[in-house]
Amino acid sequence: MPNSALLDVEGLSVAFQGRPAVEGISFHINEGETLGLVGESGSGKSAASLAVLRLLPPTATVSGRIRFSGEDLLALPEEAMRRHRGRSMAMIFQEPMTALNPVMPVGAQIAEAVRAHHPELSGRDVRERVVEAMREVALPEPERRFSDYPHQFSGGQRQRILIAMAIVNRPRLLIADEPTTALDVTVQAQILALLNRLRASHNLSMLFISHDLAVVSQVADRVAVMQHGHIVEQAPAAQLFCSPQHAYTRRLLASAPTMQTDRTRPLATLA
Ligand SMILES: Nc1ncnc2c1ncn2[C@@H]1O[C@H](COP(=O)(O)OP(=O)(O)O)[C@@H](O)[C@H]1O
Ligand SMILES: [Mg+2]
């Protein structure tokens, strides 16, 4: 495990009221690298990522070690953790509509994210940063749409707004938990292209979570496969796709419809 890893997770376990959800997983993410975390629903992907940000409910018990930029996150006081969240590490979720406040203009919501970490900035500077972030995620006419409400945007645009909110403070690590699952295939491809562009332009490290190996294959440098709370296989993306070692990985590959070239065949689903 390289010392230079931005995020280094060792033996992470999460249990909810004694029921294990994540059992001793280890992974790391280097500077500028994207790790794909893939596995079927309920395998513990979200629990693992929420543990990194320390956003799990108090009913969860967490053990192991999580180092971010050399700092031991599980030992940090909450106040220090709050300074990391939304600044050096940010998260985007699956459902853009529930993550946005329906009665607040989108520009104001992104501005809140800026102000939370930069109270020293003037209103004008905040607005400038917000418009810049909206432009970076390719939202059309950011100045004009700054004052529009979430319902005035399409699903794909709402996800762009959340991505703008996540990157506006220039985080080093972006955790994306099923960011395209609620979107149709065309829009999904556009959002993945956007994330790939941002990765390159911001030198972002990314933990990209999906149940869909085909989606993961479009962004990840390395892939960790999760099953029942364990990482059963971890490999560079190309290697994992060419020669999967674990039976479960092979099943995931076989059930990833968008990776099949023969679209006339019926779509397989996970048992
Ligand atoms: N807040 C919670 N309280 C109790 N159990 C939970 C909670 N969140 C997740 N779990 C359980 O932990 C396991 C892993 O869930 P999760 O991490 O959400 O899986 P995934 O993201 O891979 O679909 C599941 O069995 C789920 O029911
Ligand atoms: Mg999940």
Ligand 2 center to 41 CA (angstroms): 6
Q: What percent of the chain has pLDDT over 90?
A: 85
Q: Given the CA of residue 44, which atom of ligand 1 is nearest to it? A: 17
The pLDDT of residue 266 is 46
pLDDT at 265 > cutoff 90: no
Q: What percent of the chain has pLDDT over 70?
A: 93
Q: State how beta strands 60-68 and 71-72 pair.
A: antiparallel
Q: Which of 13, 16, 226 to mutate to test the pocket of ligand 1 (most atoms within 8 A of CB)?
A: 16
Ligand 2 center to 123 CA (angstroms): 36
Map out the domains of the chain with their CATH numbers.
Answer: 5-97+174-254 (3.40.50.300)
Report residue 23's pLDDT band, with 50, 70 and 90 as the boundaries. very high
If you average pLDDT over residues 102-117, what whole number do you get? Answer: 96
Ligand 1 center to 122 CA (angstroms): 41
Ligand 2 center to 176 CA (angstroms): 10
Report residue 4's pLDDT band, with 50, 70 and 90 as the boundaries. confident
Q: Which of 12, 22, 46, 52 to mutate to test the pocket of ligand 1 (most atoms within 8 A of CB)?
A: 46
pLDDT at 1 > cutoff 60: no
The pLDDT of residue 257 is 63
Q: Given the CA of residue 50, which atom of ligand 1 is nearest to it? A: 17
Ligand 1 pocket by Cβ (under 6 Å):
16, 21, 39, 41-47, 57, 59
The pLDDT of residue 262 is 44
pLDDT at 228 > cutoff 60: yes
DSSP line for the chain: --TT-SEEEEEEEEEETTEEEEEEEEEEE-TT-EEEEE--TTSSHHHHHHHHTT-S-TTEEEEEEEEETTEEGGGS-HHHHHHHBTTTEEEE-S-HHHHS-TTS-HHHHHHHHHHHH-TTS-HHHHHHHHHHHHHHTT-SSHHHHTT--GGGS-HHHHHHHHHHHHHTT--SEEEEESTTTTS-HHHHHHHHHHHHHHHHHHT-EEEEEES-HHHHTTT-SEEEEEETTEEEEEEEHHHHHHS--SHHHHHHHHT-GGG-S-TTSPPP---
